[in-house]
Amino acid sequence: MRIDKRDVARLLEGFSNPHNVRFWPVAKSYKILRGIIYADDPQRDPLRGFVTFGDPDLFFSFARLGARGEPSESSILRWVSEHGLLRRENDLQGPRSSDIDVMQAPITVADFRAEVLRARQLLTLYMNIREEDLEALESKINGTDGKRHLSLYWPHTPLTDVEVYFANVRDRLSEARELLGLRQDWPGYDDEPKWTSVDPRDVYIVLIALSEAVKDRLADVRLDLDIIDIYNRLATQPLGSDYRSPRSWKCPDLLSAMYLQFYLLITGTEPMRRCQNPACGLPFPATRKNKRFCNATCRSNARNYR
């Protein structure tokens, strides 16, 4: 399932060559044994090649794994076989050659599911804020929704840091609201609020959860320069006095590359919409007014619910 690249091309604006942000090799085969996902044959698959940041469906395909609750082991294995594992394995004997080596850390099925759940929770929080959905925000803060997902429970998945944050907030909610309270002597306090139906203190509590979770996954992302673009320009034309080095980022692993895409999404200005396929509901950038589904597959599957 893919989101139209034209709809998410804005995520890659500012990159001279977005594929160079992260080359992530895919191993020949992956397996799940005793609840652990690992590269069964760690040699790079020459036919599959690399996963790159230039794939606009990278983060969305990951979040979509949890569209119906806990993803099955078979669906996890299919995704991993296409994209690879999430983290780079620490090499205690020193760094190996380059990005083409498959050095991916094994991960438990439970932790993988927790990452999927986390991604969906953050997407949902972002949409709740954009849609000014007071009921959804209040239920998340107060823990009254009774579920970890809109459709199904996630009984075999550990708590995410997003859930832990809200649990801690509930323990000291009165104190937090007092500390974050608006002072009546602030300029503009009596002006018409931007949020007409949502307490701005509660919105701020949610924004903290969203921002801290994203920053955690971006902690190891570094500013970079696109050396490939510089080389190509040198090979074809003089740089000239007005030359500017192309901006880029360096991501240490697949998970950070996915969250860099999410960061660019939530800091952008494009309209967002929820997929109207009842089995999906994934938020997606909607640059066309008549676009109701995140991709062609969801548009086709939605017919089963009519």
Q: Is residue 103 part of a domain?
A: yes
Beta strand 107-108 with 36-44 is antiparallel
Q: Is residue 253 part of a domain?
A: yes
Confidence of residue 56 (pLDDT cuts 50, 70, 90): confident
Q: Is residue 171 part of a domain?
A: no
3-class state of residue 39 by DSSP: strand
Residue 30, beta-bridge partner list = 39
Confidence of residue 193 (pLDDT cuts 50, 70, 90): very low
Q: Is residue 130 part of a domain?
A: no
Average pLDDT over residues 153-164: 88
Confidence of residue 30 (pLDDT cuts 50, 70, 90): very high
Confidence of residue 168 (pLDDT cuts 50, 70, 90): confident
Q: Is residue 26 part of a domain?
A: yes
Its pTM stands at 0.75
Structural domains of the chain, count: 1
Q: Is residue 54 part of a domain?
A: yes
Q: Is 54:13 a contact under the CB 8 Å cutoff?
A: no
Spatial strand order of the sheet with 107-108 comes to: 27-33, 36-44, 107-108
Place of tokens 């974050």: 180
Q: Is residue 132 part of a domain?
A: no
Q: What's at 188, amino acid-wise?
A: G
Q: Is residue 40 part of a domain?
A: yes
For 265, the domain range is 5-120+217-305
Residue pLDDT, tens place only, 100-149: 568 899 999 999 999 999 999 998 888 888 877 878 887 777 776 655 65
